[in-house]
Amino acid sequence: MTNLNVKVAVFLLAFLTLSCEREEIEIEKPAAVEKMVLEPLNKAALKPIGTGVMMQAFYWDVPSGGTWWNTIKNKVSAWSNAGVDAIWLPPVSKAQNGKFSMGYDPFDYYDFGQYNQMGSTETRFGSKTELEQLINSAHANQLSVIADIVINHNSGGDSEFNIFKNSNTYTKYTPKSNLFNRTQYDFHPNDYHNNDSGVFGGFADLCHHKSYVQDWLWKKSNSVAKYYKNTMKFDGWRFDYVKGFEPWIARDWKNAVGGFSVGEYWDGNAATLQWWTDQAQMSAFDFACYYKMRDAFQGNNLNALQGDMLWKRNASRAVTFVTNHDTDEIQINKLLAYAYILTHEGYPALFYKDYEDWLDKNALNNLIWIHNNLAAGNTSNLYTDTDEYIARRNGNASKIGLIVYINISNSYKERWIQTNWSNTRIKDYTGRSSWEPVTQGDKWVKIQVPPNSYTVWSIK
């Protein structure tokens, strides 16, 4: 008998001993027990992205010192249990400011904290080994891992005489990985053209029209995209500052390696966001929704929620969010804003500081459960004024739907509204109301909401 079978036999013996007082005992076959105990979850078992919520697993200026990957690794199990299906990491490669950088000034795309350059070996977040352990732990907990891709600009190059500017520029890149070396020919201006869609912060601006740059970013077998997907095991992509290059660039990257993809197209116009998602053939952060929520919750006027948003145009390509590492304009009624995105269409993202530090985690976990178990179908607006907002998710074959009631006034509110259910008892799944009314034959019912709060109603 092998050591493995001995362990299985001991496990079964202990199980039978502890269960001797039970009238009936169900014993699984040894092979099933062996698989359950000894085999970790694999990537085939990942939750489909969009079935839960995304966690932005960082904030600006997270603690330096190389501890962040381990910090996140210790949280992925709890996040998965709460209903998260993917984590979005900050840029993982070595940047100009080394151990102090948040990664948005990339230097060596293949240095994940294993080369001594830019003043440090580790990145701000930790070592390559620690990053790999984090990704493995996330996968073992059924979470996809989304990489933050910064390909508009680079930083940290050496000075060279630039024939296109007739002056010296910091455009000579010889990273220690010896992968994707770059010169003035790979940035703007060059022998192909002077510029593309936009520059950022005065950094060296990559020219994505050059075949050499395309090869190294997504075409070669060891390109950045394929190395991140096949070697580092990333599952998806968040593209930074996509205003700086044409939509086809992100689209070609995604087509080369697959995976969930979302772009940061910072624009509050829903039509513009829809144009970009159509061109890039991927999702975008719903900045139109973000600004409407700012006006509604920070500006104390829920009528703003009637405005145009990407999720109203194409929910399948809208990633909704209340704040992120760059924005934090909604300071009041923030939990109510989360009640909005976690009950409405789109793929909602949570911000690390909101979840871990600033807001009521139990309330957020409750909203995540509501999103994952009740929120489905298209949305019908039932009532909106300055202080009150009521909407109905109409459900689908797998989820029964819900009604969300948001109130930013200082008094209790009650409304008669029409549900999708006749002669059915409903309840508030937030626990903020103890009412359990029965809908009338014509599907109408009265619901309530406390001051400066929200309730979410569905079949009991």
The pLDDT tens digits of the residues spanning 333-371 come to 999 999 999 999 999 999 999 999 999 999 999 999 999
What is the token pair recorded at 75? Answer: 């949280």
CA torsion angle for 298, 375, 265, 91 (degrees, to 10)?
100
- Give Cα separations from 266 to 83, 183, 240, 273, 276 (angstroms): 27, 29, 10, 9, 11
Q: Band the pLDDT of 319: cuts 50, 70, 90.
A: very high
Is the confidence at residue 27, as pLDDT, over 70?
no
Enter the tokens of residue 444: 């109408």
| Residue pair 175/181 in contact by the 8 Å Cβ criterion | yes
Residues contributing to the annotated binding site for Ca(2+): 152, 215
Q: What percent of the chain has pLDDT over 70?
A: 90
- DSSP strand pairing (453-459 vs 402-407): antiparallel
Spell 330-346 as b/e; 16+ CB within 10 A means b: beebbbbbbbbbbbbbb
CA 178, CA 232: separation in Å to the nearest integer? 18
Among candidate residues 186, 240, 286, 345, the one labeled active-site is 240
**CA gap 293, 301 in Å, rounded:** 9
SS3 at position 339? helix
Which 8-state DSSP code applies to residue 89? P
Q: Catalytic site residue 354? A: no
| Percent of the chain with pLDDT strictly greater than 90 | 88
23 is catalytic: no
**C-alpha separations of 455 from 80, 203, 390 in Å:** 25, 47, 10
Reading the block at residue 189, the tokens are: 């201006």
Q: Which fold has domain 51-376?
A: TIM Barrel (3.20.20)
| DSSP H helical ranges for 297-445 | 310-313, 334-341, 352-353, 361-373
pLDDT digits (tens, 9 = 90+) for 86-106: 999 999 999 999 999 999 999
- Structure letter (DSSP) for residue 19: T
- Beta-strand relationship, 144-149 and 84-88: parallel
* pLDDT band with cut points at 50, 70 and 90 for residue 44: low
The pLDDT of residue 43 is 54
pLDDT of residue 235 exceeding 60, the answer is: yes
How many other C-beta atoms lie within 10 A of the C-beta of residue 161? 11
> What are the tens digits of pLDDT across the range 187-231?
999 999 999 988 988 999 999 999 999 999 999 999 999 999 999
| Alpha-carbon span 127 to 113, nearest angstrom | 4
Residues pairing with 445 in the sheet: 417
As a whole number, the mean pLDDT across the chain is: 92
For the entire predicted model, the pTM comes to: 0.90
Q: Structural domain boundaries of the chain? A: 3-32, 51-376, 382-459
| Residue from 351, 309, 311, 312 nearest 334 by CA | 351
Helix, strand, or coil (residue 340): helix
Within a 10 A sphere around the Cβ of 25, how many other Cβ atoms? 10
Name the catalytic one among 122, 235, 252, 264. Answer: 264
d(CA 43, CA 137): 11
Supply 121's token pair: 């070996």
CA–centroid distance for 425 within its chain: 35
Collapsing DSSP to helix, strand or coil, 178 comes out as coil
C-alpha 175/C-alpha 50 separation (Å) is 37
Quick count: other Cβ atoms within 10 Å of Cβ 263?
27
Please, are residues 285 and 319 in contact by the beta-carbon 8 Å criterion? Answer: yes
As assigned by CATH, the class of the 382-459 domain is: mainly beta
